Each structure stands twice: as C-alpha cells, then as structure tokens.
Amino acid sequence: MLFYIILFTAVAILISVLYLRSMRPVDVVYYVMNFMSRSGLMTFLVKTGLNKKMRPKSTELVAPNGVRFMAPSAMYGIILEPALKLKVRKDDVFIATYPKAGTTWVQEITWLICNNADTETAKTSPLTARSPFIETIDIGTENKGLQSIESWPINSRRIIKTHLPYELLPQEIFSESGQECKIIYVARNPKDLCVSFYFFHQMNLGMEDPGSWSEFVTNFCTGNVGWGSCFTHALTYWEKAKEDKRIYFTTYENLQKDLKQEVISIAEFLGKDLTQDQVDSITAHCSFSSMSKNKTVNYSHAKKYGWDFQKSKFMRKGQVGDWKNHFTLNQNEAFDKLYEDKMENADLDFIFELE
C-alpha cells in the first residue's frame, strides 16, 4: 500500500513539475496567487499581519531589452518580459504615468469617453476590471492584469494602465504593426507626487516599507524607489510626445485647472465625438468629490490583499499643493535645487500650486 502511495505522489509531483516547466513564470505566479486567494491563505497572511513581514524591496533590474529599471520588487522581471512582448492592437489606449500622477482619474475619463459616457456601468463595475494594469497579474474577477489584456475580447477597446517608462512599453508599439495605438501620458508636479507616493507606500503593504517621511524623500529624490526617477520618467515621454503624435501629454494640474476642457481634448485625441451632455456627465462623474465616494475607483476591494486604509485612503486629498503640509523648509530647499538641476535643459514647467 505504502509503495502505491509513494508511487502516486512521485508521479503527481513529476506531472506538476513538467506542467509548470511548460508554463511562463508569470502564469505560474498567477496560479499560485489565485490559489492563495481562493484557499484563504492570503486572508490568513493579512489577518495575522504576516504580510507586513513579506514586503518587497525596490530593486534595479535589467529588462530583457537591456534597459535598466528600478522595479518596485525583485520579482518584477516576471511581468516585464511578457509585457514587452504584448501584441499591440490598433485601437489600444495606454494610460502611462509615474505612480500617483492621476492614473485612475484619466483611466476613468478615458473609459467613459470610449464607452458613450456610460456612468451607470462605471458606478457598478470596478475600474480595475474595465481598465487592466499591465504590470500585474489577474487575481479574482476585479483585478485584471496581463492575462486579461492578452485575452481581452477583440471587439472591446483595451484601456491599459501602465507605469512603465517609455523604453519598456510593449515593444510592438515601436514597430510597423503598433503604429496606430494611442498613449496618454499624465505627469504631476514632483513634490505632490512624492507626498502621494509616500502615503501609498504606507497603505499598500505590497510595496516597500517607505520608512520615515525624511527617508522616503531622500529615496524619492535619488530615484531609489519603484519606477525610479520621476524626472526621467516624465521628461522622456515629454520629449517623445513632441515628435510622436500618438502621445497626448497632459498633467494632473491641467486636469485640476479645467477638467471639462481636458475631457474634450482627450476625446478629440481619441477621435471620439461627444455631445455636450456627455461631456458634462463625464466631468461631473470625474470630479474629486464624486470619485472619492465611488467604490469602483477607490480600490476598496484591495483590503483583502493587505491594503491598509487606516493608514491612508486611495483617494486621499486630490489637491495641488498638499506638499506644503509635508516638506520641511530644508527639504523644500534641497528639492528646489534638485528640480533646477533635473529640469535645467527641459522646456517643461510643473505647477506647484494653483492660484
């Protein structure tokens, strides 16, 4: 009997190993994470606080195309490889940003523009299911990532979220077959980015522990955080947007100054005709007061993956100039010097406060 049990176990292990070896690492992670989620193991880790001990570290990786990249975790290579190889469709829209620059805001605007301002669906279906994030894997039904993007229905437009720097976008974008897709880049003034990113690190236990505010400012300034230097990130897209008409470059501050005009401009860029009513309805739906109350855009489902909303809400303040409540005089002076240095040769000006 014992012999048969051992034999059965050995065969089962052998089959599993052979099966796993034929799979891409990103799909193995997908199965493991979904098993953890369904079996309750993830909830156990969150409830016992063990997930706090498993926080990743930002790590410099060399992507398969040779580009050096400050990744938010050492495991990121697993997702980078298939992301670089993604088959790009003619009608794809990439929402590219440095984290915390207004990604969710523009994802929601773009989804509504592409879906006849259907605010009813937008209020009931999570944005993470409607607009997938290429740098993650699918978990459950609401968290759509790479696997969903690859198998997205052909008759439905993909609005793909990414924080990847320009050089690490799916490489087909730069080839003949990828010429018709669109990229919307959103930048934000680096001081507010730093504050928002700090609170996000505190709240999202899947990110590196940010340490103290002053430690985080130092790491942010040196690009020693996930996705690296926000200056390089934004300036590369800015320069590319000058010659590449597929890129629409805007800023968080533009959205704050005139949301309605941004809705109109993004619709024009995407070749979508909106009625005045549709523009008004998208603008009202995407105001901070409306979005901060809307569960479908504020990541409330992520609590079960260990996001700690006691530390910070996802829709935190939604303001230009909150940095003034956090930077000390010394930090501000040092930041201004860094800004001058990084932006010396750039014809891009960020707005740090609104009149």
Nearest approach, Cβ of residue 200 and ligand PPS (Å): 6
How far is it between the farthest Cα atoms of the chain? 81
Residue number with CB closer to ligand PPS (109 or 181): 109
Residue number with CB closer to ligand PPS (138 or 192): 192
Nearest approach, Cβ of residue 197 and ligand PPS (Å): 8
Q: Which of 45, 96, 291, 302 binds ligand PPS (CB under 6 A)?
A: 291
Residue number with CB closer to ligand PPS (86 or 193): 193
Which stretch, 73-81, 93-101, 152-160, 265-273, contacts ligand PPS (CB under 6 A)?
Answer: 93-101
Does 201 participate in catalysis according to the annotation? no
Q: Which of 315, 334, 343, 348 binds ligand PPS (CB under 6 A)?
A: 315
Nearest approach, Cβ of residue 150 and ligand PPS (Å): 21
Return phi, psi of residue 249, to 5°.
-105, 125
Q: Report CA-CA distances (Å) from 40 to 35, 140, 321.
A: 8, 13, 41
Residue number with CB closer to ligand PPS (189 or 278): 189
| Closest to 149 (Cα-Cα) out of 106, 217, 218, 88 | 88
Nearest approach, Cβ of residue 86 and ligand PPS (Å): 19
CA 184 to chain centre: 13
Q: Which of residues 142-201 bind ligand PPS (CB under 6 A)?
A: 192, 196, 199-200
Nearest approach, Cβ of residue 325 and ligand PPS (Å): 11
Q: Does 322 bind ligand PPS (CB under 6 A)?
A: yes
Residue number with CB closer to ligand PPS (172 or 205): 205
What lies within 8 Å, CB to CB, of 72 at 6+ separation is 56, 58, 207, 208, 225, 226, 227
Site string (100-129) toward ligand PPS, x via CB under 6 A: xxxxxx------------------------
- Report the distance separating Cα 235 and Cα 339, nearest Å: 12
Q: Does 321 bind ligand PPS (CB under 6 A)?
A: no
The dihedral through the CA atoms of 282, 284, 286, 291 has a sign that is negative
Residue 45 tokens read as: 């880790």
Residue 317 tokens read as: 């303040």
Single-letter residue type at 57:
K
| Closest to 343 (Cα-Cα) out of 232, 206, 253 | 232
- Report the distance separating Cα 153 and Cα 139, nearest Å: 18
Catalytic residue among 163, 201, 233, 285: 163
Nearest approach, Cβ of residue 164 and ligand PPS (Å): 12
Ranges of beta strands (E only) in the chain are 59-62, 68-71, 93-97, 159-162, 182-187, 247-251
Residue number with CB closer to ligand PPS (169 or 286): 286
Residue count at the site for ligand PPS (CB under 6 A)?
20
Q: Which of 58, 73, 97, 148 binds ligand PPS (CB under 6 A)?
A: 97
Q: Report CA-CA distances (Å) from 140 to 13, 122, 152, 153, 347.
A: 26, 19, 16, 18, 44
Binding site for ligand PPS (CB under 6 A): 97, 99-105, 192, 196, 199-200, 286, 288, 291, 315-318, 322
Q: Would you please indicate which residues are annotated as catalytic (active-site) residues?
A: 163
